[in-house]
Structure 1
Amino acid sequence: MLKYLWLSLTVFIIDQISKTVMVNWLSLYETVPVMPFFNLTLAHNTGAAFSFLAGAGGWQRWFFVVLAVLVSLVLAVWMRRLSSADKVEAISLALIIGGAIGNVMDRLVYGYVVDFLDVYVGTYHWPAFNIADSAICIGAILLIMDSFRKPAVKR
């Protein structure tokens, strides 16, 4: 089922192109309103999801790089072991791998992850995120939904 790694590559390319455009177009924290609930706002995240460990002093950069690479390798092995009937599971894993590698590239190139998607309601703003984060979330949701679809494995 490694044939779905094309999806990982597609996510990676779209993520990197979008981040390059935003970095070259916006200044840090500059906001461009798009819709009444959505802005483009350039932000840097040295931590993980929701800026977890963002102020940890720098060691987290390499920790998250190693963690994401290891998780991606484990997911690729998992994907390789899937049967041809497990298409949704393979697609889910491919999305997660593409997103993880997209954010790893940022950490290697910039030392932080480039975020720019800003969703909000009133004055409440969801933490800024990017295409890679979106792919990871969509992949995780699909994986969870697919797990409910499959019968339990008897051992």
Structure 2
Amino acid sequence: MTVRPKPNALSWLWLAAAMIALDQLTKWWALMALQPAETPHAVIPGILNWTLTFNTGAAFSFLADSAGWQRWFFVLLAVAVSATLGVWLSRTPRGDWRTAAPLSLILGGAFGNVIDRLHAAKVTDFIQVFLGSYPFPVFNVADSAISVGAVALIVFSMFGQQKPATP
């Protein structure tokens, strides 16, 4: 009798690949269409602007003013976290989209920013939104994928399907 392994969620890596492609395509567009330090291009006035910036640090420009070591630190951190998430994805059943989709979004976002760090030693950001009159830090599609994936993972783990109790 042959035991077949249960299909895992690695097939969800298509979503990570799609996020990487979308992120790189939008960053390419931003680099071609926008100039750094230009007046922001209002898309929805008072809510959304295109604003080209570069970040050598992490979220909210954390460690951006460091001497350059942070580039490799963030690359190694992203690779280590991604490897952990990849193992988690390989141990997740294929049909568990509430875990697989968020993990794939995080993986895609992480690698989208790693590509920038390896290629240019900085991450290209260009999306600026406002919370009332306060501008949120400029971000990109990869950052969005990471954030949406992390929030979805938390929400789905808190409010996911409850297994019925066995009598």
Fold equivalence (TM over 0.5): yes
The runs of at least 4 consecutive aligned structure 1 residues that moved more than 3 Å come to none
How many residues matched? Answer: 152
Q: Could you say which residue in structure 2 is the equivalent of 1:133? A: 143
Matching residue within 19, 32, 42 for 2:41 = 32
Q: Could you say which residue in structure 1 is the equivalent of 2:107? A: 97
Question: What are the superposed Cα offsets for residues 106-148 of structure 1, whole Å, 9 maximum, x if unpaired?
Answer: 0011110000000014541100000000000010011001111
Matching residue within 9, 12, 15 for 1:4 = 12
Shift of 1:84: 3.0
Percent sequence identity is 49
- Counterpart code for 1:35: I
For residues 73 and 144 of structure 1, the distance between their equivalents in structure 2, rounded to whole angstroms, comes to: 19
For residues 12 and 76 of structure 1, the distance between their equivalents in structure 2, rounded to whole angstroms, comes to: 15
Shift of 1:18: 0.3
Superposition pairs for residues 4-153 of structure 1, below 5 Å?
Answer: 4-30=12-38, 31-36=40-45, 37-121=47-131, 123-148=133-158, 149-150=160-161
Q: Please say if residues 11 and 94 of structure 2, whose CA atoms lie closer than 8 Å, have aligned partners that are also in contact.
A: no
- Secondary structure at 1:39 match in 2: strand
- Counterpart code for 1:96: I
Q: Which segments of 5 or more consecutive residues in structure 2 lack a partner in the other structure?
A: 1-8
The TM-score with structure 1 as length reference comes to 0.94
The TM-score with structure 2 as length reference comes to 0.87
Q: What root-mean-square deviation, in Å, do the aligned CA atoms of Structure 1 and Structure 2 show? A: 1.4
